[in-house]
A and B are shown apart, each in its own frame.
Chain A
Amino acid sequence: MLVSLFVGCYNDLLFPGTGQAVVKVLERLGHTVEFRSAQTCCGQMHYNTGYTREAQPLMRRFVEVFRDVETVCAPSSPCVAMVREHFPKMAREMDDAKLLAEVEALVPRVFEFTEFLVKKLGVEDVGAYYPHRVTYHPACHSARGLHLGDIPYRLLNKVHSIKLIDLPESEECCGFGGTFSIKNADTSNAMLADKVRSILDTRAEVCVATDNSCLMHIFGALHRERTGVRTAHIAEVLASTEGEPFA
């Protein structure tokens, strides 16, 4: 299958390894990946901060870039949630029937990376090897936004030599919330402190999630406190093999 990768603006700049890991996993499974370089950002940050009008041209661009593809796969649930939950609403509010029709046609073809593997491709064992003690943080947008449920766990459970430890109070938000982490930094930190405590309680080496936005936040405290716990995107875990460790 030809899979068009939407990497996400923050992954593009800050976490290129995640995009590379997605490419590696999909190619290992025998699929062809394309990357349309005209892609930029889904507009979620603008939209969630109240810059609705500014998000509109970004949505338009997203639709223009991807409207003719078979499948879009994105290693970022906030971006996919933006497309699914907010694009149709935005298009309706813009009163643009053509755009709305294009959005509605595109939405069912946009998948988050782990749901793409399990739901669309029907794969759980991707042949990964990751000999580490890992805990999984269900990001808000993957758990409550996209209702991924046990999908990421099913993938992680099939990774060879992994030791997966349940995260206590796993579905509590880490306190990132985009601009929330800056605008209400004190409250955000209070939330982060509890998340870090839960992670440390698992004695994991690595904290894994479907989203680098949460992981960037969690890393911020794990590293500042020199906990020695690292963070890795789930794609990077799934990309790792016995011969070629990824993350």
Chain B
Amino acid sequence: MSIRIGKASEARTFTEAARDSLENSQLRHNIRHATHVIRDKRGKIVGEMPDWEQLRDAGSAIKAHVMRNLDLYLEQFEANVIKAGGHVHWAGDADEARTIIRELIEQHGGKEVIKVKTMTSEEIELNPELMAHGIAPYETDLAELIIQLGEGQSSHFVVPALHINHLQIQQIFKQKMPLEEMGLSDLGEKPTELAEAARRYLREKFLRVKIGVSGANFAVAETGSLVIVESEGNGRMCLTLPDVLITVVGIEKVVPTFQDLEVYFSMLARSATGERMSPYTSIWTGVDPKDGPKEFHVVLLDNGRTRVLEDEEGRQALHCIRCAACLNACPVYGRTGGHAYGAVYAGPIGAILMPQLQGMEHSQSLPYASSLCGACYEACPQKINIPEVLIHLRSQIVQEKQSHLGGKLSGENLAMQLMRKVFQSETMLRTAHKMARLGQGPFVDRNVITHVPGMKAWTETRDLRAIPKQSFRDWWKQREKEKKGGRP
């Protein structure tokens, strides 16, 4: 079994990739604007909820319970899907999931599918697989459509085209849509005009294509129901109009009872888009001969999740309901955007999820892509202690590095070991103070250091205050001495 999460294994480090994003003025502007708009809306709407903290506790408790009993709830879910006339498939990794879905489409002679925005599909790289086998996948979420037509990359898992502004969208639509065939002579830049073009472009596909592919926000064990929460209504179309519906869902999305949804429905839209409720919440259970798809398949995806489950501290990453509040709150994401993370799941949650899902050999730079400011933890409706898990993962990375000679001899490790030693002895600390004061000598100018070898990463852009002549402990010692000596 090989766990692959999108193209993470080929990605550059965060530090390298961030440089490109930071220099892209338009990207910086777009991301700042969009994250701040959502952040402000979220703040207002969450502020209306007097029981927000209790909801967070409840959401977190339900998920913690599910993680301890995941096997039971998944089997219950499976039995109830089958009872309702659906089919259940188990996929250990991305390859298995892609093959299952492609073969199901091929069995029905499908050459096209309509898709609801689904992160699991991104994770298993479904679209390239389908295209390689002559099947056209049509993204129907407006932002995913923009990304697909523009041949770009999603930068945010709730608002994938967050880094693109309306003028850029206008250009993509003009180049890629058959505007005349759609009955449009020209395309303006107004959001309403762009939405109208997307509506005409998609409507025809909704009515024609017979197979739908979706993800799911929740899977209810008690009833075998699946849930999608969305804003545009494209999801409702994809879930109801096709003859065949295939849903791929991560195994961590299961909740025990229908009533548990109440907690998540109170938090998801508020956290994700700053709305009290999403315009469309679709819940379906198996098939019904009178309405909707005649055939329903659900693919339960592991792809590294059971491995994350093994780590009692790290597993809280699986509590995520993908609202992306942490991305919008994060000062790092707010500067670099999602592409720098080289990951399907970007931002703070991605930084703890990706290295765990794929194993620590990939995405090792991600746990360091944080100043540990805590804004993500504060924003998370599931109360996932992201900073704590980041530190936990950093500790795993450090211990892995220390297990071989190269890591042991790295500058960072040597410095850390030296400082640990120094801090274990008052005498050594005093000596270290003296040496630091002596060592800075040649670099001090008017009490400031502007350049010092080995510290370029700091001094390239920031000055350093010079170390003062007397440390606090020396000042205190002198003061005590003067007191005893009776001097003023």
Residues from chain A with a CB closer than 8 A to the CB of B99 are none
A16 pairs with B471, CB closer than 8 A: yes
A165 touches B (CB below 8 Å): no
Task: Name the contact of A50 in the complex, choosing from B394, B424, B472 (C-beta under 8 A).
Answer: B394
Determine, out of B128-136, B225-233, B328-336, the stretch whose residues face the partner at the interface: B328-336
A70 touches B (CB below 8 Å): no
Residues from chain A with a CB closer than 8 A to the CB of B476 are 19, 35, 37
Residues 23-76 of B contacting A (Cβ, < 8 Å) = none
Per DSSP, chain B at the interface is: helix
Q: B394 → chain A, closest Cβ, in Å?
A: 3
Residues from chain B with a CB closer than 8 A to the CB of A19 are 472, 475-476
Task: Name the contact of A184 in the complex, choosing from B369, B374, B436, B471 (C-beta under 8 A).
Answer: B369
B258 touches A (CB below 8 Å): no
A50 pairs with B391, CB closer than 8 A: yes
B331 pairs with A173, CB closer than 8 A: yes
B335 pairs with A51, CB closer than 8 A: no
Interface string of B367-386 (1 = CB under 8 A from A): 11111111101100000000
B374 pairs with A180, CB closer than 8 A: no
Residues 381-413 of B contacting A (Cβ, < 8 Å) = 388, 391, 393-399, 412
Query: Interface range on chain B: under 10, 10 to 19, 20 to 34, or 35 or more?
Result: 35 or more
Interface string of B465-477 (1 = CB under 8 A from A): 1011011111111
Q: A199 → chain B, closest Cβ, in Å?
A: 14
B398 pairs with A13, CB closer than 8 A: no
Q: A107 → chain B, closest Cβ, in Å?
A: 17
The residue of chain A having its C-beta at the shortest distance from the C-beta of B425 within the complex is A40
Query: Interface range on chain A: under 10, 10 to 19, 20 to 34, or 35 or more?
Result: 35 or more
Residues 30-76 of A contacting B (Cβ, < 8 Å) = 35, 37-38, 40-41, 43, 45-54, 57-58, 61
B472 pairs with A7, CB closer than 8 A: yes
A98 touches B (CB below 8 Å): no
Q: A197 → chain B, closest Cβ, in Å?
A: 12
Total A-B contacts with CB atoms under 8 angstroms apart:
178
Question: In the complex the two chains form, what is the Cα distance from A141 to B470 in whole Å?
Answer: 27
Residues from chain B with a CB closer than 8 A to the CB of A141 are 374
B487 touches A (CB below 8 Å): no
Residues from chain A with a CB closer than 8 A to the CB of B167 are none
Interface string of A168-179 (1 = CB under 8 A from B): 000111011111
Question: In the complex the two chains form, what is the Cα distance from A141 to B18 in whole Å?
Answer: 25
B461 touches A (CB below 8 Å): yes
Task: Name the contact of A180 in the complex, choosing from B368, B433, B436 (C-beta under 8 A).
Answer: B368
B423 pairs with A50, CB closer than 8 A: no
A12 touches B (CB below 8 Å): yes
A191 pairs with B332, CB closer than 8 A: yes
Residues 4-22 of A contacting B (Cβ, < 8 Å) = 7, 9, 11-14, 16-20
Known: A40-B429, A50-B398, A183-B15. A173 touches B373 (CB 8 A): yes
Determine, out of B100-108, B144-152, B193-201, B414-422, the stretch whose residues face the partner at the interface: B414-422
Residues from chain B with a CB closer than 8 A to the CB of A140 are 371-375
Residues 203-252 of B contacting A (Cβ, < 8 Å) = none
Question: In the complex the two chains form, what is the Cα distance from A137 to B388 in whole Å?
Answer: 24
Residues 446-462 of B contacting A (Cβ, < 8 Å) = 448, 450, 457-458, 460-462
B424 pairs with A58, CB closer than 8 A: yes
A13 pairs with B416, CB closer than 8 A: no
A234 touches B (CB below 8 Å): no
B463 touches A (CB below 8 Å): yes
A184 pairs with B335, CB closer than 8 A: no
B475 pairs with A20, CB closer than 8 A: yes
B291 touches A (CB below 8 Å): no
A186 touches B (CB below 8 Å): yes
Residues 109-142 of A contacting B (Cβ, < 8 Å) = 140-141
Residues from chain A with a CB closer than 8 A to the CB of B187 are none
B190 touches A (CB below 8 Å): no
Determine, out of A156-164, A201-209, A217-225, the stretch whose residues face the partner at the interface: A217-225
Residues from chain A with a CB closer than 8 A to the CB of B361 are none
Residues from chain B with a CB closer than 8 A to the CB of A50 are 367, 391, 393-399
B377 pairs with A51, CB closer than 8 A: no
B264 touches A (CB below 8 Å): no
B468 pairs with A190, CB closer than 8 A: no
A216 pairs with B371, CB closer than 8 A: no
Question: In the complex the two chains form, what is the Cα distance from A185 to B19 in whole Å?
Answer: 10
Q: A215 → chain B, closest Cβ, in Å?
A: 9
B177 touches A (CB below 8 Å): no
A175 pairs with B331, CB closer than 8 A: yes
Residues from chain B with a CB closer than 8 A to the CB of A241 are none
A198 touches B (CB below 8 Å): no
Q: Which residue of A9, A52, A182, A220 has the most chain B CB atoms within 10 A of its CB atom?
A: A220
Question: In the complex the two chains form, what is the Cα distance from A9 to B477 in whole Å?
Answer: 16
Residues from chain A with a CB closer than 8 A to the CB of B465 are 14, 216, 219, 223
B426 touches A (CB below 8 Å): yes
B184 touches A (CB below 8 Å): no
Question: In the complex the two chains form, what is the Cα distance from A13 to B438 in whole Å?
Answer: 13
Q: A239 → chain B, closest Cβ, in Å?
A: 14
Task: Name the contact of B371 in the complex, choosing from A38, A51, A188 (C-beta under 8 A).
Answer: A188
Q: B31 → chain A, closest Cβ, in Å?
A: 11
Question: In the complex the two chains form, what is the Cα distance from A219 to B15 in whole Å?
Answer: 24
25 example contacts (A-B, Cβ-Cβ < 8 A) are as follows: A14-B468, A16-B470, A16-B472, A19-B476, A20-B472, A20-B475, A37-B477, A46-B420, A50-B393, A50-B394, A51-B416, A54-B420, A173-B373, A177-B371, A180-B368, A180-B372, A183-B457, A184-B332, A187-B336, A189-B461, A190-B22, A191-B332, A220-B461, A220-B463, A224-B461
| The 5 nearest A-B residue pairs measured at CB | A177-B371, A220-B462, A50-B394, A173-B373, A50-B398
Name A's B-contacting residues (CB within 8 A). 7, 9, 11-14, 16-20, 35, 37-38, 40-41, 43, 45-54, 57-58, 61, 85, 140-141, 144-145, 171-173, 175-192, 216-217, 219-221, 223-224
19 extra A-B contacts, CB within 8 A, seeds A189-B462, A191-B331: A19-B476, A35-B476, A37-B476, A41-B423, A46-B416, A46-B420, A47-B391, A49-B416, A51-B416, A52-B391, A57-B420, A140-B375, A141-B374, A144-B377, A173-B371, A179-B368, A187-B336, A188-B371, A191-B371
